[in-house]
Structure 1
Amino acid sequence: MSKYYQGSFLEVLYVLVISAKSGQLGNRLLLSANFIAFACENNFTVLNPAFEEYADFFSSTDKDFLCCYPSTPFSIAGNRLLRKYYYNINRYLAESGRFNTINIKRNQPFSWSNSSITKELKSRSINFFQGWVFRDGWFVDDISNLQKHGKKIRAYFQPLKKYQLNVAKLISNIRSQTDVLIGVHVRHGDYQQHQNGRYFYLVEDYLKVMESTQTLFPNKKVTFLICSNQEQKEDYFQHLSYVYGNNHIIEDMYSLAECDYIIGPPSSYTMWASFYGERPLYMIRDVNKTLKIEDFVHFSQWKGVFYYNEDWSKSVWEWTH
């Protein structure tokens, strides 16, 4: 039980609704995970209509169009039309002024334990949340709660069985022929514009990092699992042992989570893979860096520095360790 709510929250009902979309898959998974961890600490209920486009990929949310945590004994499976309607009506209610709507401003890192936001929660009421509250590194002070409730969160966000089987087949085939498996997230496409291309790296840049990583495992066969949001040419990586992922947004993410190590630019996509698979991640910031094994960091070890900019889109959170 959180020190802020001792006694009182066991006697009343609090419903937290994630009523606005923030980013893509990785961001929404991390946001959901933080709400679930907070709900576990305080006996709250979370509804997540903002998970609309991704709900059909996961075993818990596929069966429940409300995307409710904790899962209810009786639920109704969703479909695209129903989920879209569910999201839109929640957006309307959040902006109607009839309920308690909490807007999270992106002007500083957010923490449940240090934020006055928790004092705005109303009991016996629906509390709508809007804002990029847990985007990328904004939840650094709450990592301990994610670790504490990680087992429940991972169980809730298990992919559907068909995706699990495809991932298992891919990983099993690779592991039968290698000693060390390293996942590489080649983030192209949208990253050419994201933060003015700050983390958009050419294939040649990824190759430098991969070659540096390979030297960390002398006398072992290293294979790279390459996942990308843009098709890559077959001949880019021929001097290395490599396999391309299944080119599916869920299967690639959860395949990265099964690797021994993960490499990629700063991205919530690989952050989730690192958290879910409990695998160490190296976030590329300097493509010319000579890597050490200590540069691969487990989710629970991350810290960070926040750089504020008056233009919130240019505010930057940099993970360190």
Structure 2
Amino acid sequence: MLVISAKSGQLGNRLLSFANFIAFAIENNFTVINPAFEEYADFFMSTSEDFLSCYPSPVVSIPGNKFLRKYYYDFNRFLAESGRFKTINIKRDRPFSWSNSIITKELKSGSINFFQGWMFRDGWFVDDLSNLQKHGEKIRAYFQPLNKYQLNVANLISQIRSETDAIVGIHIRHGDYQEHQNGKYFYLFEEYLKVMESAKALFPNKKVTFLICSNQRQKEDYLQHLSYVYGNNHIIEDMYSLAECDYIIGPPSSYSMWASFYGKRPLYMIRDVNKTLKIEDFVHFYQWQGVFYPNEDWSKSVWEWTH
């Protein structure tokens, strides 16, 4: 049994981490339980009905609530740090990968193995993409949002599609990105507009509508020359609406990466706001590559995307 007993990042990172554990578990006949998914478990069909957040889903399960999930997470943290069980700490000084880690050779399916640390952050899992691709449909089925969220997403996308030829999702990450990596990927709204205009030019004979999803409301005065719709301003509905777009654009972020994975849509990660886009710049999830640059100060370690 594999137990994810520590939290790393927010929704996108937690989903990618959980997905990587599931893919490994399917390949190697393990069970995964994820107490660290507590804040997000109630958004998804499988985990909302199972307070253990277990894969494969148990035959008999108990729905959770905030109190039960919080207690369950704290209890597993206690067990992981008690020394009574095998606890594997994943350090942040280099990427962790199932495919090249000596840890995987020590795991036994009949034992309990707690995992702590910053796992599979952003692109640190590229060596394991083949397993994510192989088991992608099972993973997507497990992470279907509740029906009410699916319905809201379907209604939004259906309305947009009825009035346009192509939908380009724009993930504008403000808020925490002003501090993240010293603001390296914090772009002003005017800079996002440059990228949007470049994307629109890729479809000269089509009407392009931009679906804008952001953690901060933007100035609509700048958008008058573009066809655009704002997302529903809900953490799950925005992510899964991006997954339904024809193309996705955003800064390097696990949030839009999950949308790309789940919807099987090509994604362009903005690293140069002045770049003139080509259609080849939109890359499917399984094609991503990059280089890891370690630093003694783990907060300055960087995964630099090369494609």
Bin of the TM-score, shorter chain as denominator length = over 0.9
Alignment check: 8 A CA contact 2:29 2:109 kept: no
Aligned pair 1:137/2:123, yes or no? yes
- What's 1:291 paired with? 277
CA distance in 2, matches of 1:242, 1:221: 11
TM-score normalised to structure 1 length: 0.94
Aligned pair 1:55/2:38, yes or no? no
CA deviation digits over 1:197-220, x for unaligned, max 9? 010000000000000011000110
Look up the equivalent residue of 1:266 and give its one-letter code.
P
CA distance in 1, matches of 2:153, 2:224: 23
In the TM superposition, 1:272-311 aligns within 5 A as 272-311=258-297
- Give 1:124 shift: 2.6
3-state SS of paired residue (1:23): coil
Report the RMSD for the aligned CA atoms in angstroms.
Answer: 0.8
Look up the equivalent residue of 2:21 and give its one-letter code.
F
Look up the equivalent residue of 2:182 and give its one-letter code.
N
- Give 1:270 shift: 0.2
Look up the equivalent residue of 1:287 and give its one-letter code.
V
Aligned pair 1:214/2:200, yes or no? yes
Look up the equivalent residue of 1:169 and give its one-letter code.
N
Look up the equivalent residue of 1:267 and give its one-letter code.
S
- Give 1:113 shift: 1.5
- Give 1:318 shift: 1.7
- What's 1:179 paired with? 165
- Give 1:24 shift: 0.1
Alignment check: 8 A CA contact 2:30 2:109 kept: no
- Give 1:122 shift: 4.1
Percent identity for Structure 1 against Structure 2: 84
Q: 2:75 aligns with which of 69, 81, 89?
A: 89
- Give 1:319 shift: 2.0
CA deviation digits over 1:233-252, x for unaligned, max 9? 22231110000000000000
CA distance in 2, matches of 1:277, 1:129: 28
Aligned pair 1:117/2:103, yes or no? yes
- What's 1:230 paired with? 216
- What's 1:126 paired with? 112
3-state SS of paired residue (1:113): helix
- What's 1:195 paired with? 181
The alignment of Structure 1 onto Structure 2 pairs a total of residues equal to 307
Q: 1:77 aligns with which of 63, 67, 77?
A: 63
- Structure 2 spans left out of the alignment, 5+ residues: none
- What's 2:226 paired with? 240
CA distance in 2, matches of 1:261, 1:30: 20
- What's 2:138 paired with? 152
CA distance in 1, matches of 2:64, 2:110: 26
Tell which deviates more after alignment, 35-44 or 231-240: 231-240
Tell which deviates more after alignment, 130-139 or 15-24: 130-139
Look up the equivalent residue of 1:218 and give its one-letter code.
P
Alignment check: 8 A CA contact 2:45 2:144 kept: yes
Alignment check: 8 A CA contact 2:247 2:266 kept: yes
CA distance in 2, matches of 1:124, 1:17: 13
Look up the equivalent residue of 2:63 and give its one-letter code.
A
Aligned pair 1:100/2:83, yes or no? no
- What's 1:257 paired with? 243
3-state SS of paired residue (1:227): strand
Alignment check: 8 A CA contact 1:102 1:120 kept: no
3-state SS of paired residue (2:87): strand
- Structure 1 spans left out of the alignment, 5+ residues: 1-14
CA distance in 1, matches of 2:141, 2:178: 34
3-state SS of paired residue (2:193): helix
TM-score normalised to structure 2 length: 0.99
CA distance in 2, matches of 1:123, 1:66: 18
Tell which deviates more after alignment, 124-133 or 179-188: 124-133
